[in-house]
Structure 1
Amino acid sequence: MSSERSAERRIVSVDGLRLGDHACMGTADVTGDAPWAVFTAYTRTSLARREKVLLVMDPDDLTDDEVVTLLDGGSGRAAAARDSGQLVLRRNTEMYVPDGRFEKQRTIDAYRSEVDRSYAEGWSGLRVTADMSWAARVGLDQERLLDYEASVAPLFADPLFTAICWYDRRRFGDELTARIARAHPVRVVRLPDSPAVTGIPEGGRIAGTAEPGTRPDFVEALREALDHPNDSGPGHVVLDLRDLCFMEAHCAWQLITLASSLPPGSAVTVRCGELLALVLEQLGAARVPQLVVRVEGEAGAAG
């Protein structure tokens, strides 16, 4: 990792993670059933990019089958990914303290082996999420934990290795969680479950998720963003979807349908990441003259 890269401090939603990011997430950044809402978007995006996903969970968390069901969302993709080896589930005690003791170099070597294995298996990279509660479980000294977080920097010199370290503030306390956050170049925060529309001069920005559970809200958000005072004539609207964590194919199809229903001469410019642009292309966006898709920034999530 370059000194310039390590000096960065960014606060992003999960879709804003860049390849090679070393990120942390804490209970102050997410609420409710988190971190699974974040990890679900993160996993689905990674699987769509043909990256290998390694979820390192606490032994007291959901069972492996429950995790796959949660990530799957009825699509069958997470189950297929586990069967193919693209999705791997492990427990943090196995990864960090297999014999009850923490050894920094052993752990770093284990992650390096996982990176090498993902390449050997033909995946385009490795994405990790790690529940760090093992450190509180074994009573690891704070300075040793902070030293470990600083020592993994060479792993992220490989731009196709990306990781989120999950810290539960209830286990680690405010002061240590804040110090750990400063030891990471990136902090991940959760966007709202229900899509939120923010007005911009040219149209609207939609943030959140677009999947079966939020589909009605998303369609309503689309209608609100695409609405303009002169319904009888053409208009030009910019729709910023760069803060959308996840969009399923049906919601993407709804966007195309709504754009095609606008008067001839209208233009809807969609600003989004490469994955969403690809899904829109596959669903026929190019055949809708009112729709212009513009790829900007980091890849958004779609599925």
Structure 2
Amino acid sequence: MAASTPVDRLASGDHACLTFSDPEERLDILAAFVAAGQSRGEEIICFTDAVGVDELRAELLERGIEERGAGGGGAHLRVVRADQLWGGGSAPEAATMVELLAGELRRALERGRSGLRITADMCWAARPQANAEQLLVFESEVARLFADGRLTAICEYDRESFDPVTLGYASRVHARTVAARVYHEDAVLRICRQHVPPGVRVAGDLDRTRADALRDALAEAVRLDPDIHLNLNQLHFLDPSAAEVILRTAANLPDRRRMVVVCAEPVERTLIEAGAARVPALRMLVRHGER
């Protein structure tokens, strides 16, 4: 079983597996992984399948991740379709994919990059034209490219697209399993660390019985982050007592620090009714609008 590792603790040369069911969590982990590669001067390629190239670019840009200039040395980050992994062939073939990545690594080093970092959306393996055996061969054969620590990768597996046997195999053949740090999780609520921008992400229903879990998560964000980003995009219900925890945390921030809350309009209304307008350090970004 692969060891579970927070994305910010992955080292150069790691080959990690991400299995996910929450697209926002997957995006956050991917953005943090890309940002780390940019800070290390690596060439970065995001192979995307379930999400379109333009959509993924826009989502990364929303989190402050840009494809940086092609001037002179090539782009630091490229977002491309997953089918480019098999070099234009009609179907994925493991040997071709491994050879392509070996070539990309060689060219990155020739351009003076410190290494190559890739994210690979593995949903291609669930497509009708794919041979499931090629996925198994690819994950096994690509391992040799990680030997010198110059290639770092996350292979992304959507739990909705793969059966438990394939997901179990993916976990076994990767040295690491990357995951968000979870503060609280039960049948109705999940609270976890958000990496880019840094803060806390909450999904589900947040009532008064779970307000303490939110308080603890926000307390860590106050210790770790200059500004606190609270992502409530996937929060369906916010109890007034839990809203007070948010407002109290924002009100007690030191001068010049702020809390940015991203939410839908029903959650915004609850925060306004709880007194959000009286907290200068609080800023709310509302889906389909901004306050």
What is the TM-score normalised by the length of structure 1? 0.59
**1:43 is aligned to 2:34:** yes
Q: Deviations over 1:195-223 (max 9, x none)?
A: x59xxxxxxxxx72365584899xx8798
Shift, 1:225, TM fit: 5.7
**1:167 is aligned to 2:181:** no
Give secondary structure in 2 for the equivalent of 1:80.
Answer: coil
What residue is the counterpart of 2:62 in the other structure? 73
Q: Deviations over 1:132-183 (max 9, x none)?
A: 1112114534333212211111101120201111112222211221122112
Q: Deviations over 1:62-92 (max 9, x none)?
A: 333x3233223374x5143577500011111
What residue is the counterpart of 1:112 in the other structure? 102
What residue is the counterpart of 1:291 in the other structure? none
Change (3 A) 1:85 1:137: same
Change (3 A) 1:224 1:95: closer
Bigger relative contact order (CA 8 A; separation at least 6): 1
Amino acid in structure 1 at the alignment position of 2:121: D
Aligned-residue Cα RMSD (Å) equals: 3.7
8 Å CA contact 2:42–2:113 kept in 1: the answer is: yes
8 Å CA contact 1:10–1:185 kept in 2: the answer is: yes
Give secondary structure in 2 for the equivalent of 1:170.
Answer: coil
**1:209 is aligned to 2:210:** no
Whole-angstrom CA distance in 2 between matches of 1:68 and 1:82: 16
Amino acid in structure 2 at the alignment position of 1:190: A
8 Å CA contact 2:13–2:149 kept in 1: the answer is: yes
Give secondary structure in 1 for the equivalent of 2:47.
Answer: strand
What residue is the counterpart of 1:96 in the other structure? 86
In the TM superposition, 1:250-289 aligns within 5 A as none
Q: Give ranges in structure 1 of 5+ residues lacking alignment.
A: 1-7, 198-206, 228-238, 242-246, 252-256, 260-303
Whole-angstrom CA distance in 1 between matches of 2:93 and 2:166: 20
What residue is the counterpart of 1:267 in the other structure? none
Whole-angstrom CA distance in 2 between matches of 1:179 and 1:46: 27
What residue is the counterpart of 1:9 in the other structure? 2
Identical pairs, percent: 27
8 Å CA contact 2:193–2:201 kept in 1: the answer is: no
8 Å CA contact 1:96–1:102 kept in 2: the answer is: yes
**1:25 is aligned to 2:15:** no
Change (3 A) 1:174 1:44: same
Amino acid in structure 1 at the alignment position of 2:120: A
The correspondence for 2:137, drawn from 123, 147, 150, is 147
Whole-angstrom CA distance in 1 between matches of 2:254 and 2:217: 8
Whole-angstrom CA distance in 1 between matches of 2:129 and 2:83: 13
Amino acid in structure 2 at the alignment position of 1:94: Q
What is the TM-score normalised by the length of structure 2? 0.61
What residue is the counterpart of 1:56 in the other structure? 47
Shift, 1:43, TM fit: 0.9
